[in-house]
Chains A and B, each alone.
Chain A
């Protein structure tokens, strides 16, 4: 399935590095999301974009910086991360419907390890 793609799939970075995660959706959706999934924990919503506008920043540290140049692309810029930031980072997209029922479709994720 190629509805939502993410690159890279795996990333190892040092605490002083700067890297970016990329997400692209081919579903014609209007909303895109970044989630963090740590072991044995629920998905944590990080950022929400609706029609390219950020509508939610869920108290995420400034070392994570999102960018949404258009409704199909979403980036997560990373800098000076900490080892506890190691996790699976998932991108998702969803349609916006008048019914309010908006299921989300996830990309395969980027497994990030901070050393």
Chain B
């Protein structure tokens, strides 16, 4: 089983729509969780950390479900500029494990 698994998508959504997707992780002892954004042919950039109680940053909401071992990302009021690949990142004892990414395409 992969350490971090994501639905590759693509999720094709119209501008203004809400899109949500999950990421599952295998290590129940994982300590920290992040969402990164990666644009085509660019480096990953930190979007937000994910806290146990869930957290929101503008139009982005992240949730953590430790019992079921998944994290989620919800994007409200999608913008064209939200088109990217979203990487789920999980920190175990000593390293980060990356998912392969979920591609989101927002169309006008």
Contacts and interface: CB of A to CB of B under 8 A. Distances in A.
B100 A101 contact: no
A98 to B, nearest CB: 13
A56 B96 CA distance: 12
A101 B49 contact: yes
Contacts of A55: 94
Interface residues of B, number: 23
Contacts of B4: 42
Given A100-B31, A101-B49, A106-B44, A56 B98 contact: no
A58 to B, nearest CB: 8
B42 interface: yes
Interface string B83-108: 00001000100111111110000000
A40 B40 CA distance: 12
Contacts of B42: 108-109
Given A107-B43, A108-B43, A40 B100 contact: yes
Interface in A36-79: 40-43, 45, 48, 55-56
A48 B100 CA distance: 20
Interface of B: 2, 4, 8, 31-32, 34, 41-46, 49, 87, 91, 94-101
26 contacts: A40-B100, A41-B100, A42-B2, A42-B87, A42-B97, A42-B98, A42-B99, A42-B100, A42-B101, A43-B44, A45-B96, A56-B94, A56-B95, A90-B43, A90-B44, A100-B32, A101-B32, A101-B91, A102-B32, A103-B49, A104-B46, A104-B96, A106-B45, A107-B43, A108-B42, A109-B43
Q: Which 6 A-B pairs have the closest CB atoms?
A: A106-B43, A43-B98, A42-B98, A42-B100, A101-B32, A103-B46
Interface of A: 40-43, 45, 48, 55-56, 90, 100-109, 111
